[in-house]
Amino acid sequence: MSNIADDVTQKQSQLTSAGVTILGSTGSIGVNTIDVVMRHPKRFRVVALTAHEQVDRLFEQCCQLHPSKAVMVDQVAAQRLGEKLRDAGVQTEVLSGVEALQQVATLPETGIVMAAIVGAAGLLPSLAAVRAGKRVLLANKEPLVMSGDLFVSEARRSGAQLLPIDSEHNAIFQCMPPGYTTGRAHQAVRKILLTCSGGPFRSVSAAELSRVTPEQACAHPNWVMGRKISVDSATLMNKGLEFIEACRLFGVTPEQVKILIHPQSVVHSMVEYADGSVLAQLGNPDMRTPIAHALAWPERIDSGVRSLDLLEVARLDFERPDIKRFPCLRLAQETAEIGGTAPAVLNAANEVAVAAFLERRIAFTDIPVVIERVLAEVPISREPDLDAVLACDSRARATASRVIHGLDYKPVRGMR
């Protein structure tokens, strides 16, 4: 990809009236994106919205925004949505299937694509948007975790802009030096300090973790997120995936990324420079801040987020993560060192394990057990192409399902 600061004026003029496609509009990121877009109706217009099977919520969004296209991955859900929109007199074309996600991600009238589909399902539509040269707002970290160098190289070839939406990566992006290029190390950057709230179980003992219920794992103390991401935050796998993503987005080695537990979630991340300076981005824990930043970059627009009151915050604490109690973080860091398809195996195993936990088929502490066994069994390809990544993802999921089936799990009543 060309220097991300190149041709700012040209890109800005193109994006001022550009249409927006939101992949995953019914999730928390999608809902927050719509909130920001609606605050600036003269600047942004929604071209397409997508969801998996939440018909009623997508129907409401279509009635509100009147996109030209809406996609539901589930065909039955798409038929229901089409009927409801026709009855309401809303002239939005309804498409269905995975291929339709790629179609709306590459529409000529779309300049900005919010990639907010959770999990590996977001890889192909996000990659399609990159290949089409769009401004891609990466809320879904899995494409970079799974395909790494392939994803970044495609962005360089097409001239696409990759702007991170995760609060931590967006903070790092804001703190990077002028001339920073996606995926390439900058000589002035010594270290990235990646912050982590610690999740809901930061002070919980290892014994108590074995009794965690899905409801407890989804109750994040600072952020409002979907169930899968909430569980990832509770196991610290979310930070592990962000660790891998940071290496690939910012062209740094795993040794250059340091994770800090920061319970207040006010300092979203920091960049340490060669001269000893450390730049930090601070703000209230609200995803509308990074969304607004990426939508309007390099300008700043109102996001609807309240001002940060440091006197109210009063203190900022930092501590080391405990990888013994939270082995998912260790596993992610190890796969970042291995590279190749190892992160794709990690991600696939984690998705299957988290789904099993949410369905009460395994314990919270079984999640890293499943992942570690899958990593030990599935062969790693060192320089994979897209087909190899997808094949590895499929094999890891099948292996994870087999491992889960062999576990002897008895449901628990939860922590007190």
Q: Where are the domains positioned within the chain?
A: 8-165
pLDDT in the model for residue 5: 43
* 79/276 Cα distance (integer angstroms): 58
Residue in the structure block whose two tokens are 């992160």: 343
Strands across the sheet with 135-138, in order? Answer: 93-96, 69-72, 45-51, 19-23, 110-115, 135-138, 161-164
Kindly state the tokens that stand for 41.
């109706």
Put simply, whether the predicted model's pTM sits higher than 0.95 gets the answer no
Q: Which residues are CB-contacts of 220 (< 8 A; sequence separation ≥ 6)?
A: 197, 199, 200, 230, 233, 234
Rounded to 5 degrees, φ, ψ at 279 are: -100, 135
CA distance 105 to 121: 14
The predicted structure's pLDDT at residue 143? 84
pLDDT tens sequence across 303-315: 999 999 999 999 9
pLDDT value of position 310:
95
Q: 90-94: which pairs have CB atoms within 8 A and are 24 or more residues apart?
A: 90/62, 90/63, 90/66, 91/66, 92/62, 92/66, 92/67, 92/68, 93/68, 93/69, 94/69, 94/70
In angstroms, how far is CA 138 from the centroid of its own chain? 6
Rounded Cα–Cα distance for residues 392 and 386 (Å): 10
The tokens describing 22, both together, are 């939101």
Distance set, CA 151 to CA 36, 131, 243, 385 (Å): 27, 9, 17, 10
Q: Is 106:134 a contact under the CB 8 Å cutoff?
A: yes
Question: How would you classify the pairing of strands 267-273 and 278-282?
Answer: antiparallel
Q: Which CATH superfamily is domain 8-165 in?
A: NAD(P)-binding Rossmann-like Domain (3.40.50.720)
Which residue positions in the chain have pLDDT lower than 50? 1-15
- Pair 238, 294: CB distance under 8 Å: no
- Helical (H) or strand (E) element with 311: helix 310-313
CA distance 264 to 195: 10
- 3-class secondary-structure state, position 46: strand
Question: What is the amino acid identity at position 376?
Answer: A
19 DSSP assignment: E
Three-state secondary structure readout of 179-229: CCCCCCCCCCEEEEEEEECCCCCCCCCHHHHCCCCHHHHCCCCCCCCCHHH
Cα 413 to Cα 398: distance, rounded to the nearest angstrom: 29
DSSP 177: P
* Contact in structure between 43 and 16 (CB atoms under 8 Å): yes
Three-state DSSP state, 236: coil
Q: How far apart are CA 339 and CA 381, in angstroms?
A: 9
d(CA 323, CA 342): 19
**What pLDDT does residue 415 have?**
60
Peptide bond into 327 cis (omega under 30): no
Angle at 176 between CA 322 and CA 45, to 5 degrees: 100
